[in-house]
Chain A
Amino acid sequence: EADIYQTPRYLVIGTGKKITLECSQTMGHDKMYWYQQDPGMELHLIHYSYGVNSTEKGDLSSESTVSRIRTEHFPLTLESARPSHTSQYLCASSVPGSGVYNEQFFGPGTRLTVL
């Protein structure tokens, strides 16, 4: 079934740890995105990718990094987690295009808490 998967769904970790948030999609989409969302707040784009070996930073500066080695996989890594990284992280994907083809599909999110 075509879907977007994010693991883990919840993560509580100590300061200084390296973490990787996984995002995979079986939608066959080329474009993928990472958003950061604080509770009740707007979504901020932190990374996006147009395809394999393509990664760009989004509007919100982030200390995280991403990679896109496979079309279906877009992991996000924090080398050294800090309490300021506590947030919800949403992964999304879309087909290239505008108009009626312009729709982003979202994963269930990873809620990260850094102690």
Chain B
Amino acid sequence: AQRVTQPEKLLSVFKGAPVELKCNYSYSGSPELFWYVQYSRQRLQLLLRHISRESIKGFTADLNKGETSFHLKKPFAQEEDSAMYYCALSGITGNMLTFGGGTRLMVKP
């Protein structure tokens, strides 16, 4: 069985501070990990995927297979980063996503 855990329901930081949203997973094979984001009154959308090794809106995430983690990081938070962030895992079946519980990020001015 695959499982995704986001230990923090709410993370509040000041503008300009570093941000790290935690994500841990359990999966016996080689997973594909994703971060999805939902801004206020907008749809859930893909932020980044580990396989692309990309930086989107200043966010990066590294897959650590030893620690089974995929934490999302940004060195300097902006107010427009305030949103709900979901970590998701796709396993051997491909496309099927298991979502974590989500973390609400609030960036204060």
Task: Report which A residues bind B (CB closer than 8 A).
Answer: 31, 35, 40-45, 48, 59, 90, 92, 94, 96-100, 102-109
Q: Which A residues lie within 8 Å of B84 (CB)?
A: 40
Please state if A104 and B32 are interface contacts (CB–CB under 8 Å).
no
8 chain-A/chain-B pairs, Cβ below 8 angstroms: A40-B104, A42-B86, A45-B97, A45-B98, A98-B32, A102-B32, A102-B49, A102-B90
CB distance from A95 to the nearest CB of B (A): 8
Please state if B104 and A103 are interface contacts (CB–CB under 8 Å).
no
Q: Which A residues lie within 8 Å of B32 (CB)?
A: 98-99, 102
CB distance from B64 to the nearest CB of A (A): 19
Please state if B90 and A43 are interface contacts (CB–CB under 8 Å).
no
Q: Which A residues lie within 8 Å of B34 (CB)?
A: 102-103
CB distance from A54 to the nearest CB of B (A): 13
Please state if B100 and A42 are interface contacts (CB–CB under 8 Å).
yes
CB distance from A97 to the nearest CB of B (A): 7
Please state if B86 and A96 are interface contacts (CB–CB under 8 Å).
no
- Determine whether B11 belongs to the interface, using a CB cutoff of 8 Å to chain A: no
Please state if B95 and A96 are interface contacts (CB–CB under 8 Å).
yes
Interface centre among A42, A92, A98, by most B CB within 10 Å? A42
Please state if A40 and B102 are interface contacts (CB–CB under 8 Å).
yes
Q: A102-B32, A103-B46 are in contact. Are A94 and B95 (CB under 8 A)?
A: yes
CB distance from B99 to the nearest CB of A (A): 4
- Determine whether B94 belongs to the interface, using a CB cutoff of 8 Å to chain A: yes
Contact of A106 among B44, B51, B98, B101 (CB under 8 A): B44
Please state if A43 and B46 are interface contacts (CB–CB under 8 Å).
no
Nearest to A99 among chain B residues (CB) is: B51
Q: Which A residues lie within 8 Å of B102 (CB)?
A: 40-42
Q: A42-B100, A43-B86 are in contact. Are A98 and B94 (CB under 8 A)?
A: yes
Please state if A103 and B49 are interface contacts (CB–CB under 8 Å).
yes
Nearest to A108 among chain B residues (CB) is: B43
- Could you tell me which residues of chain B, from 1 to 47, have a CB within 8 Å of some CB in chain A? 9, 32, 34, 43-46
